Chains A and B, each alone.
Chain A
């Protein structure tokens, strides 16, 4: 079929990362480097967007090069609604940016047939000093509408956002909720041939989110081509016919949305859920203890990266105690995407808090019950603590990570509720509601 809307041909995108400053170990060296710094800075900033053929060849192993996308090829037919999924850093956002022409591919090419509107953020270009009315026109044209289109849709947009009374008030006086609603209302009334949407549904209150989801569904039904990125698997399966699974910048699965979502949830993608240090001398630690392996495991002791919110998660640490003279306490600290610490935990066998462990190989697993964490990526900092607070034989910040996903099949704290449940944890609590049918309030 030649009737494609978007066609990608071996698209790759390379970024340069880790432009570390070298530390000066002497005053003289410091002065020399200071004098030379304009030249090094110039080279550094230039190198951000210039890559040598050698760096782009397959053999290059330097760590300063990141392949955000690598040889991505797929074709989206006109009218298809495609969900793009993958863990954080899999290249989803880069992919959308390349297709939206925000950043060019390093190699490969893309062909797009039709008018594109991309929605990587709601409210792009909103100016606080302008009124609601003015921002609707500005934002609408920024998103690719003609003025006449905004004219004809204006009443609908205002109605959708529910801000009639404040149309001529500067947006800086709006509540943040109103601002988001107005911004999304503009976005929701785009009628491009191809719509590209990043995780923007994650804004506003639950009712508004539902409204947006419905609107998205309508857009899909109208025969428009939609490319949609989300961590919300329920939204993906509901809206999309087709799913594309990205991992480390490459397409690893492509097919019917339900199947892709399932394979994503059960895949244990990437290597960040498990790490090994096969060589004792290179392992983190010192002469008293060395870390040999880290794993995130499910109930069956299998390494996994994606976890159903209802299922327990095991944090497993494998380590060799070498000297056996000090008490050793394995320790984990869990943090979310925003860096907020959710909780810390230390070995619950309290003998280890006072008695040294005998030399040998240990495997300690801490079990996090199901229905405790909330959806999202959880980063685990791993350490070995001793009785001396400042002495940690090893500590690895954000050493491993896993994803918690609510499949919305019931059994989670969510129940039938489809809206947001904010907070760092989402425990399933015991709720008791007492009901008295003949009370005065009810009858009188």
Chain B
């Protein structure tokens, strides 16, 4: 017995009741498992593929090419003078992460339902696992950026210091939404069908294919409440230089925190009945 002797942990189990905050100490106790779950997701994703992790580059790269041809060349979308490939690359990479992580997190409980009914570990690890695992894809896909930035001669600026804040929002959105959607999806499988459309539509809710400057000042505040806008606009100014769009980033930071906190509360409230509704 390696952990015995020091202190005996006592757990009290009662009927489900009210709201609870996330128990970070418990997650810390399960950190080894958490690490293995994340690692399993990473390892299994590209199992038995020829290209392996190259898919993490190919997926956004193909999207960038398609969007650049359709929206850049054919539709000639106005991009504040930025070459369209550059314009879309810095947006599509974080967007791919957010949409993939959100989709995977929303399905995490349904997919893990066999395990859900057989073993206990903090339920919140289910949606958190894909959110972290997809970060590996995100990091790899950043490699697409390097040649594009070099080709267009983009020099790094002090705006880069903003990156940690943007990454925080970028992870908080799929985590919060993932917790909301996973808790809903386990009870109502409609979520899976709806997600396909939601993701397709969400890409238009943020300035991924067009520029935020096209949004009129009267609706700009409402527009800025979408935290995806903050991430995309933030990435643009962060990587390409230019003025930092605080009008988008600050509201995004607030709403993403709100999504995260409410998601966590809702998930904790519902987590105890998951097994009974599978």
Contact = CB atoms under 8 A, between A and B. Distances in A.
A174 to B, nearest CB: 15
Contacts of A134: 40, 43
Interface in A104-142: 104-116, 118, 120-121, 124-125, 127, 129-130, 134, 137-138, 141-142
A127 B44 contact: yes
A134 B3 CA distance: 23
Interface in B1-52: 1-4, 8-16, 32-33, 35-37, 40, 43-44, 47-48
A113 B8 contact: yes
A220 to B, nearest CB: 15
Contacts of B121: 142, 144
Interface stretch (B94-102, B112-120, B224-232, B260-268): B112-120
Given A97-B275, A120-B118, A146-B2, A129 B48 contact: yes
A193 B119 contact: no
A354 B116 CA distance: 57
A141 B1 contact: no
Contact of B275 (A102, A110, A121): A102
Contact of A138 (B10, B36, B116): B36
Contacts of B4: 115, 193
A376 B33 CA distance: 37
Contacts of B119: 100, 102, 118, 120-121, 124-125, 142-143
B9 A114 contact: yes
Given A104-B272, A104-B273, A125-B115, A191 B120 contact: no
A18 to B, nearest CB: 15
Interface string B87-125: 000000000000000000000000000111111110000
Interface in B117-139: 117-121
Given A101-B11, A193-B4, A141 B273 contact: no
Nearest to B11: A112
B110 to A, nearest CB: 14
Interface of A: 15, 42, 45-46, 48-49, 97-116, 118, 120-121, 124-125, 127, 129-130, 134, 137-138, 141-149, 152, 170, 191, 193
14 contacts: A97-B275, A103-B276, A104-B15, A106-B15, A112-B10, A118-B119, A120-B118, A138-B40, A142-B115, A142-B121, A145-B32, A146-B32, A191-B2, A193-B4
